[in-house]
Amino acid sequence: MYSSLEELKKHPVFYYFSEISNIPRGSGNEKAISDYLLYFAKQRNLEVIQDEALNIIIKKPAVTGYEDIPAVIIQGHMDMVCEKNKESLHDFEKDPLQLRIVGDMLYATDTTLGADNGIAVAYALALLDSDDIPHPALEVVITTEEETNMRGAFAVDPACLDGEIFINIDSEEDNKLLVSGAGGIKATQILTITWQEAPENAVGYRISIRGLKGGHSGMSIHKGRGNANKIIGRLLYDLSSAFPYFIQEINGGSAVNAIPREADVTILLQSSEIGQLENKIQEWNQVLKNELRASDPDIYVKLEKIPLDCTKVFSEQTMNKAITFLMLIPNGIQSMSMEIEGLVESSTNIGVVTTIDKELLFESDIRSSVKSLKDNIRNQMKLMADTLDCQFTTDCNYPEWPYQPHSNIRRLFEKVYKDRHGTDIELIAVHAGFECGIFVEKLPGIDAISIGPDIYDVHTPNEHLNIPSTLNNWRYFLSVLKEMNTFKFEEHNETAIEEAEEVS
């Protein structure tokens, strides 16, 4: 469809997507992109708020004929997950993304694309910049730090918003309406490292897990993909039964909400044990190729001799505790929904393991559409930390987004879709955290929905965006806005409100 980026950028959505791709916007590094959005609004004389969390709220008045329609909040987040291939020299703190087209897909070279959630920002800017798109009053809310702790959404002052309809653009499946999402919490277990002197005449080796696909810890958790941190734990446990060795450091994963694709451990051992180590690595390559032949056929374990640059190693007690953590920490699907076929109800992902000076950190992403089950997984992890005499902290405890039985905006999206395609659109609930839950809590009575184009391999360097789907979803979105002046918005009656409360 599009043979070059220059041709693609002639469309306003992709023009703005390209513009923001030039601005570093990893979670916690949003000042530049927030300032860009602030400048954009001021240049167009639009009302704009930049709060202390660097969230941006831009307001645009209704066009003629749409003044009496309830204001619409359009919401997404400006930050992205920063994952790259090991060999990539890309610096997410300063380098622009290198966009490229392959067929109908848009990629970034060796890095995440940031379509999650740059596409929401691009849609919003294209809409705000237009003077010929019919729409009611708009309140565009672009938040920060969604990918790490949703601190931006939590910080939004609800008094700044008047909208009654909420359209989130952070879904990743075209031709579907997202109507419910999971809540979540980040759990961190901290093991204090006791160091001891490295043994004399020891040699150093780095063992690396490579070739895994990874993926979003919510959207891809059901795909059975290997978790590099769990795999390195299994390997270390097996080695400990074969010959003596010492650990210098363990590091795996780079984002708590991404299934870790890579992990490394540095071990020391005597020269006489090298042959056994090499044999074990060969065995594990065969084991993992067999176990993950369907989900991760390219997995491999790499063994590399390295020079020793440290005279300290984990004590035996620290080493045993670290391996115990990696072996026993809950990971993967914990329960499936009995109400929605195929929907993961609860899960956890041990996303990051980091050796820092005197501490070994284990960071997990817990998700559930049922609060009590989310709390239960948290309690399991706390009990494990207590048993192994570790610190335990939690962060980013965000609420579930319950299904709303009565929804005007859902009815409108359904009507427009059927008018366009002659068939009913699919309603879905997903096992992922959405800022919708936070805003539904903040804004009682808000009518929420989530849409988005097809995005694949999110939170990995293979992330790619379907270009025709993006354009189709954009036209669908605009058709909904256009039809708002003829659609009959019904008031919520008491029965509907009671039903919603029962479901939640």
User: pLDDT tens for residues 152-180?
Assistant: 999 999 999 999 999 999 999 999 999 99
In a shared domain, residues 379 and 236: yes
Q: Is residue 437 part of a domain?
A: yes
Q: 113 with 12, same domain?
A: yes
Joined tokens for residue 428: 């879905």
Which residues is 353 bridged to in the sheet?
Answer: 252, 362
CA angle 133, 74, 156 (to 5 degrees): 145
What the block records as the tokens of 269 is: 């051992």
Confidence of residue 396 (pLDDT cuts 50, 70, 90): confident
- 177 lies in a domain? no
Question: Do 194 and 328 share a domain, yes or no?
Answer: yes
- The answer to whether residue 412 is domain-embedded is yes
Beta bridge partners of 188: 363, 393
Number of folded domains that form the chain: 2
- Statement to judge: residues 129 and 194 lie in one domain: no
Amino acid letter at 251? N
Q: What is the pLDDT of residue 452?
A: 98
| Range of the structural domain that residue 439 is part of | 5-170+403-503
Pair 456, 473 in one domain: yes
- 257: cis peptide before it, omega within 30°? no
Whether residue 179 is contained in a domain is answered as no
CATH number at residue 229: 3.30.70.360
Is 130 a domain residue? yes
180 occurs within a structural domain: no
Whole-model pTM above 0.85?
A: no
pLDDT, average across residues 78-85: 94
Mark whether 105 and 143 lie in a shared domain: yes
Q: Which whole number is the average pLDDT over 103-127?
A: 97
Helix (H, G, I), strand (E, B) or coil at 269: strand
Q: What pLDDT sits at residue 404?
A: 86
Domain stop point among 365, 381, 398: 398
Measured distance CA(112)–CA(462) in Å, rounded: 7
In one letter, which amino acid is 72? V
Percent of the chain topping pLDDT 70: 97
Alpha-carbon gap, residue 78 to 141, rounded angstroms? 10
Q: Which residues are catalytically annotated?
A: 79, 146
Q: Please state, in angstroms and as integers, the Cα–Cα distance from residue 240 to each residue in 62, 138, 236, following that order.
A: 68, 61, 6
Q: What is the pLDDT of residues 315-337, one digit of tens each?
A: 999 999 999 999 999 999 999 98
Answer yes or no: do 328 and 434 share one domain: no
Same-domain check for residues 154 and 203? no
Domain boundary among 378, 398, 418: 398
Least confident of 12-16, 206-210, 494-498: 494-498
pLDDT at 493 over 60: no
The domain boundary residue, chosen from 375, 398, 421: 398
Same domain, 119 and 224: no
